[in-house]
Amino acid sequence: MKDVRKHPIHFAGYSLTMRRGEFLKKESGAAEAEPDGRYRVRVQIAREQLRMLKPYLIELSTRRSAEWIARGLWNLPFEPYAPVRKQLLALLRMINSRRQAAGQSKLPASVLRMKRDIVKPFGEGDEALAA
């Protein structure tokens, strides 16, 4: 058995770990807000997945059309949790710097999905299964 706080769980291209939260919580009567220090799950793209994805997309960034790259980025199979969004925005910056150096147009951040699809595993829709 390994501690998930030290060794992430790798599943379906994601890396899941536990980190201390840095959410600021202002106590009543305190002058400043301080980190709450609670553990929270952190979901991001696994390093191995990112190592395969980055070179591929950066290499094609100047060879393919902006529409092709935008469609590819939008259809990546990762839900946009906050750490995943940061990883994808960093990838988009790399792609845009390559495209700009080649004299091509930059891609806007709107080519990335920024909102997750909320899925309720139980509740709504269960009536159809019961019928």
Q: Report the C-alpha gap between 76 and 3 in whole angstroms.
A: 30
In this structure, is residue 16 part of a structural domain?
yes
Is 70 domain-assigned? Answer: yes
Of the candidate ranges 18-32, 33-47, 85-99, the one whose mean pLDDT is the lowest: 18-32
- Name the residue range of residue 15's domain: 9-21+38-111
In a domain, 29, yes or no: no
Residue 130 has pLDDT above 70, yes or no: no
CB of 26 closer than 8 Å to CB of 36 = no
- Asked if the structure places residue 4 within a domain, the reply is no
> Residue 43: what are its φ and ψ, rounded to 5°?
-115, 125
Number of domains observed in the structure of the chain: 1
- Block residue for tokens 């030290």: 6
Could you read off the pLDDT of 55-97 as tens digits, one per residue?
999 999 999 999 999 999 999 999 999 999 999 999 999 999 9
Cβ neighbours of residue 81 under 8 Å, at least 6 residues apart? 43, 44, 116
